[in-house]
Amino acid sequence: MAIAKITVSGPFGSGKTTLIKHVSDEQFSGKDVPTTGVLAQFKSMTTVGLDFGILNVDDDLDVHLFGTPGQSRFNFMWKILSKGALGGILLVDTASDRALVEAQDMIKIWKEIPDFPLVIGATKQDLPEAISLDALAETLASEETPMFTVDARKREDNRMLVMALLQEILLAEQGASEMDEMDVLDL
Amino acid sequence: MPSQEQVSTEVKHIGLLRKALIGKHALTIDFNGMEWGGKLSLTEGMFESNDETITCLKNIFAFPVFSFSWQATTSPLTFPLEPKLAFYQALAGVQMDEHRLTSYRESFSKLPPVRLKAGALFRLDAEDMNQYKMLYYMGLAEKGVRISDYLNSDDPALLLRRTRVVLTCYCLGQLIPVTNIKEPTTKMSMAARILARLRKDA
């Protein structure tokens, strides 16, 4: 049985647990405990330890989805969990200054990993205080990284992010070029 | 690209624009419509940043182009303008009549099935972004998406939005034909199998 690994990361409260739930056949949530300290005003419960989900692809392949803890004190785990992964999904609450700062740290770590494709899901874009996708791309120094607005509560948005990551891997491995010798997209 | 002149009432000039951008050719392209004319200067996949560029792009998107010609240039751009920014400025609020929309639909419908390479189209407004996501999502299907299916709408406002998305993605090289797949690597094989599984659940 082969195992592929996908890492889901994002600052505290960005929707990692829900994404893994929406994509997995089996989900094993890390221990949810009451949030304490300054973060308690944002979310009543949070995950300590790992979120983990399994998607059974076929008889020979499972996907393990790891949700890395959002709090920055766990940042030593982000790189460890990303080793050997197909790629990563970064969820960012675009209406939170704190989340944006944490996301900057996370993406820096991922960018240090060679051959590590990633996609970014920008959440809470409907809120008036949300920054634009342009501003997010600039903040994360990720102007060429695929980025989608997502509603983290929506199953189809979460699944699309995972599928987008997989398609990016396929296109990159295929060496897809915009214009091949026989330009089949000529009008 | 050697200098040439073509007479066109269709959208061949859009194909030329795409080739010039993706191929990073250094060209000047002259366009003539019924009551307007315009010029685009391109080098290394960038436009010259000036009002003429945006006005010209607006015109070639919104109105018929009766003739166009191009020639190679060696003049460097004074102020390079990123094409995604130029397209955003040119397509924001642009209107197209029914005939124009039909021309685009007929022309783009001839394209083979495609996938959408997720690019950085951040500057689309929220509703255009939703339509972009729709095209991206349709392209994730096993056989890709036919643009004819995407542009199959009787709602003129929706058709206009979707046409804007297709124009942008096409010219910026984000439509990738679903063609022969090379010998798959292990990573590709895994990604393809996972995608197939997720498609089943969609």
Question: What ipTM goes with this model?
Answer: 0.80
pTM across the whole model: 0.84
More confidently predicted of B72 and A183? B72
Assigned domain for A183 exists: no
In which residue are the tokens 């920014």 written? B85
Assigned domain for A167 exists: yes
- Place A96 in a pLDDT band, splitting at 50, 70 and 90: very high
Q: What is the pLDDT of residue A181?
A: 46
Q: Is the per-residue pLDDT at B70 higher than 90?
A: yes
Contacts of B194 in chain A (CB under 8 A): 4, 55, 57, 61, 63, 162, 166
- Supply the mean pLDDT for chain A: 84
More confidently predicted of A9 and B201? A9
If asked whether residues B164 and B191 sit together in one domain, one would say yes
Which of B44, B67, B91 corresponds to the end of one domain?
A: B91
Q: Is the per-residue pLDDT at A33 higher than 60?
A: no
Of B115, B122, B185, the CB nearest to A134: B122
Using the beta-carbon criterion (under 8 Å), do B202 and A173 form an inter-chain contact?
Answer: no
Q: Is the per-residue pLDDT at A105 higher than 80?
A: yes
Q: Nearest C-alpha of chain A: how many angstroms from B137? A: 7
Contact assessment for residue A28 and residue B157, using Cβ atoms and an 8 Å cutoff: no
| Torsion angle defined by CA atoms of residues B79, B83, B84 and B87, in that order, rounded to the nearest 10 degrees | 100
Assigned domain for A136 exists: yes
Q: Nearest C-alpha of chain A: how many angstroms from B107? A: 7
Which of A10-19, A83-92, A146-155 has the weakest average pLDDT? A10-19
Closest-CA residue in chain B for A147?
A: B120
Taking the C-alpha atoms of residue A160 and residue B23, their distance in angstroms, rounded to an integer, is 30
If asked whether residues B87 and B11 sit together in one domain, one would say yes
Closest CA to A72 of A12, A112, A121: A12
By three-state DSSP, how is residue B43 classified? strand
- Place A176 in a pLDDT band, splitting at 50, 70 and 90: low
Q: What is the pLDDT of residue B6?
A: 58
What does the pLDDT average to over B147-170? 94
Of B22, B174, B191, the CB nearest to A86: B191
Burial B111-129 (b: 16+ CB within 10 A, else e): bebbbbbbbbbbbbeeebb
Domain hosting A76: range is 2-173
Strand partners, A148: A121
Using the beta-carbon criterion (under 8 Å), do A146 and B118 form an inter-chain contact?
Answer: yes
User: What's A140's domain CATH number?
Assistant: 3.40.50.300
How many distinct structural domains can be found in chain B? 2
The answer to whether B178 contacts chain A (CB < 8 Å) is: no
Q: What is the pLDDT of residue B202?
A: 67
If asked whether residues B118 and B33 sit together in one domain, one would say no
If asked whether residues B158 and B190 sit together in one domain, one would say yes
What does the pLDDT average to over B25-42? 93
Using the beta-carbon criterion (under 8 Å), do B126 and A180 form an inter-chain contact?
Answer: no
If asked whether residues B107 and B178 sit together in one domain, one would say yes
Assigned domain for A61 exists: yes
Using the beta-carbon criterion (under 8 Å), do A185 and B170 form an inter-chain contact?
Answer: yes
Assigned domain for A186 exists: no
Q: What is the pLDDT of residue B128?
A: 85
How open is the CA angle A66-A67-A72, to the nearest 5 degrees?
130
Of B112, B133, B181, the CB nearest to A148: B133
HSE on the CB side for B106, CA within 13 Å?
Answer: 10
If asked whether residues B132 and B87 sit together in one domain, one would say no
Q: Is the per-residue pLDDT at B185 higher than 60?
A: yes
Taking the C-alpha atoms of residue A71 and residue A61, their distance in angstroms, rounded to an integer, is 31
Q: What is the pLDDT of residue A94?
A: 94
Which of A42-46, A99-103, B138-142 has the weakest average pLDDT? A42-46
Length, in residues, of chain B: 202
If asked whether residues B197 and B102 sit together in one domain, one would say yes
Phi and psi at residue B47, to the nearest 5°? -95, 160
Q: What is the pLDDT of residue B120?
A: 61
What does the pLDDT average to over B76-98? 91
Assigned domain for A185 exists: no
Q: Is the per-residue pLDDT at B201 higher than 60?
A: yes
What does the pLDDT average to over B71-82? 92
If asked whether residues B84 and B104 sit together in one domain, one would say no
If asked whether residues B71 and B108 sit together in one domain, one would say no
Taking the C-alpha atoms of residue A105 and residue B31, their distance in angstroms, rounded to an integer, is 48
If asked whether residues B27 and B103 sit together in one domain, one would say no
Contacts of B166 in chain A (CB under 8 A): none
If asked whether residues B55 and B146 sit together in one domain, one would say no
Q: What is the pLDDT of residue A148?
A: 92
How many distinct structural domains can be found in chain A? 1
Which of B76, B91, B106 corresponds to the end of one domain?
A: B91
Domain hosting B37: range is 4-91
What does the pLDDT average to over B10-37? 92
Using the beta-carbon criterion (under 8 Å), do A57 and B197 form an inter-chain contact?
Answer: yes
Assigned domain for A140 exists: yes
Using the beta-carbon criterion (under 8 Å), do A23 and B185 form an inter-chain contact?
Answer: no
